[in-house]
Amino acid sequence: MTSSTDDILVQIRNLHFSRGKKKIFDGIDIDIHRGKVTAIMGPSGTGKTTLLRLIGGQLRPDAGSIIVDGQSVPHLRRRQLFELRKRMGMLFQSGALLTDLSVFDNVAFPLREHTKLNEAMIRDLILMKLEAVGLRNARDLKPSELSGGMARRVALARAIALDPMMIMYDEPFTGQDPISMGALVQLIRLLNDALGLTSVIVSHDVQETATIADDIYVISEGRVVGHGTPDELNATESEWVHQFMQGLPDGPVPFHYPGTRYADDLLAGAGQGGES
């Protein structure tokens, strides 16, 4: 896949990151293109959420570069990093709504914190964002009165409140019923295209993510093991990527924890029993 550098919003090169002795990333390269939906996929525990935190500057890499819209994230000063984050929306896996505030006030929160807009303009903007996610008439409800799918959509309205250039989604489909999941899938694609966003989805839900992703990176054991469009990855000759995309129980990632053979274990036990 070829493109100009101007087409790349997030460029990651030779990224290394560890937690203690555990190597999370071992020299990965990733390009996230402007206006596209890019998925970062892989089994649980492969560092997908950690990658979002590195892009947002919450964590610093051990080595390598992370360039977001021409700025080196690890080298930004605190004020510069905060300014960049205002242009990066985030949909947390839990939704992270403020429980004591109404739906309206949750979505209004970033506008009141980071802008000097008057309340009349804030009201119009919030109603616009809530209308986009189908929840304008739920604006007076509290988070405790929302279903899981509704709460996720309110969190999405809040994520686009400041009209960011990019939204990062951390496992957006986890815990959703089929109807809520379908609504979220449609919303992510619709908002990305209608608002000219760049979307980064971290997920292990293959089917849902593949229906809306333009580009997919599959990560395992600290490295990128597959990259391409959904069609390209479905046609890959990589046994590992094929196993992950098809959800196969056995393959390069074995079903059984490695160790001695079952028959050997049984024979060893039989030998011990015979001696007693």
Q: How far apart are CA 113 and CA 28, in angstroms?
A: 36
**182 and 147 in contact (C-beta within 8 Å)?**
no
Of 146, 158, 147, the C-alpha closest to 105 is 158
Which domains, and CATH codes, for the chain? 36-55+70-249 (3.40.50.300)
Of 38, 34, 86, 72, the C-alpha closest to 215 is 38
pLDDT reported for residue 252 = 63
pLDDT reported for residue 2 = 45
* pTM listed for this prediction: 0.82
pLDDT reported for residue 48 = 87
- Output the CA–CA distances (angstroms, integers) from residue 160 to 54, 163, 223, 262, in the order listed: 21, 5, 31, 54
**158 and 106 in contact (C-beta within 8 Å)?**
yes
Digit-by-digit pLDDT tens for the chain (276 residues) are 444 567 999 999 999 999 888 899 999 999 999 999 999 988 777 888 899 999 999 999 999 999 999 999 999 999 999 999 989 988 887 668 888 899 999 999 989 988 889 999 999 999 999 998 888 999 999 999 988 888 888 999 999 888 899 999 998 887 777 887 888 888 899 989 988 999 999 987 888 888 999 999 999 888 998 899 988 888 877 777 777 777 666 666 665 666 777 777 778 776 665 554
| One-character DSSP codes across 45-114 | TSSHHHHHHHHTTSS--SEEEEEETTEEGGG--HHHHHHHHTTEEEE-TT----TTS-HHHHHHHHHHHH
